Chains A and B, each alone.
Chain A
Amino acid sequence: MNIECPLPAETEETIRLGHGSGGALSQHLFQNYIYPHIKNPWLDQMHDAAVLPVSGARLVFTTDSFVVSPLFFPGGNIGELAVFGTVNDLAMSGARPLYLSCSLILEEGFPLNTLATIMASMGRAAAQSGVQLVTGDTKVVERGKGDGLYINTAGVGVLEREWQIGPASIRAGDRILLSGDIGRHGMAVMASREGLAFETELQSDCAPLHAPVRDLLQAGIRVHCLRDLTRGGLATALVELSQTSSTSFVIEESAVPVSEPVEGACELLGLDPLYVANEGRFAVFVAPEQEQPALEILRRHTVSAASRTIGQVCTSGRPEVILRNLLGCERLLDLLPGEQLPRIC
């Protein structure tokens, strides 16, 4: 039997939702259609934010767009997300977040009192994060051409320490710490969007992470890398860091906390919590001797009170993430091709 087959013709390649999933399709989009046209050394840092030397200081610059649906979900709304998301991207470079921009894309017909509620949330979130929204823009699109409200925020922070925090600083032997249980935001939004009623309400973990990071650095913990877990979840973040740093990680599945409501919802829908989105969790890479002091500092903050070590960086090998499961078997974590879809079987 001849089972050779011709290359599938990619005749009508268009953007699909999976391109926004943070997985392999997102990577394909960036590597092939975006990066080649704009590449530069700052972009090559491949971190959540770019570190830019400006007149003797080191500024950190980042941007993010927020298109969450529904706009209000248990545990937060798009406004808080837009502030915390950008604050967290700055914090993950070790920076002190300073100023944010705020661009609103509003759909014709959007209720102004809803906008006021969201802006009030943004104001509170900014105060909580110690940043100010210093510039912005509003655009209105025709009814049906937006999903009520999209928000883009960009943020500037300042790096006050010498060493580089990022994938390039990850070293063999580093301990990988996780700041709490995973999957809350993704499941809260999904339950809210799809009208799924669970016995226990799922709450997003949406929160600012600058304070625990600040305290780690002030205490002299020489953090090698930080990464907040957003779309694509813990697994995607680890795979990306492994690829960027050309190191391999071993993760103990039993050490990764998943709350019972999230686990139950994931079991029901056939989803893997390792790939479910978070908005208030982060991973910390530190040398083994700083593992315990780092954990102690992290645990002083509500947002990272349940921090624990979930794995470590291996001495050699290919850039890969090995998950040692509850039964002692090992499997490789990979990027998902696109959106994680509920399984029927």
Chain B
Amino acid sequence: MRKNQKPKLAVWKFASCDGCQLSLLNCTDELPALVERVEIAHFLEASRAVVKGPYDLSLVEGSITTPQDLKRIQQVRRASKVLITIGACATAGGIQALRNFKDVKEFVSIVYARPDYIETLETSTPIADHVPVDFELRGCPIDKRQLLEVIVALLNGRRPNVPAHSVCIECKLKGNVCVMVAHGTPCLGPVTHAGCGAICPSYDRGCYGCFGPKETPNTAALSRGWSRLGAGEREIMQVFRGVNAHAEAFRKESEKHEKRND
């Protein structure tokens, strides 16, 4: 980091909904302090002022889906000392990675009358498939407290404290009754990465996996649990095929059930 100068923060957007960047603007109490500590050097959603790189910290939202973005992510990486991906799109390809299981040409023709005007890749892929990533922050959307933790940690040269255990741990810490055991509601909590604060079970619904797979997820055992609660192969396939469909553990599990459903 340059001596006596504020570190430069950049925010980059690829294929996404803008929700993860918005999480930064949702940090009402912390935003003024952050702006004191860092220079917002590139954040198009919030500012037309663009400061040239290199950047000390880049936050990347979105997945790679176009030929132009393949090149742009390389430029972003070259201009960034530390690169963090924020959200399910940037870390797993996002909901738009559902195209990876289909023929994208068919997708284009369903949505657009003139497919020839549209330039797109056959797949939606995470940033780490293309460039080295220093830290991946999960979630669809990310949790703003975790985002602040990551920014503060990396600016201070320490490792972010972002546990990779399951949503179940958060549920127990909150004192929730298990929706799967007590209510028979199918839940992805046992295989899903913590971070949201176990929101869905706290609202009487099963987790649908928006933080992606936890460390060492036993997806097969959970699928058997879902079957026992009466979920069909199609339902199990689709729950793994959500906003983190392209994350390896979820992808493989959904493919198993797709075959059985055929």
A is bound by B: no
Listed in ascending order, the chain B residues whose CB lies under 8 Å from chain A are none
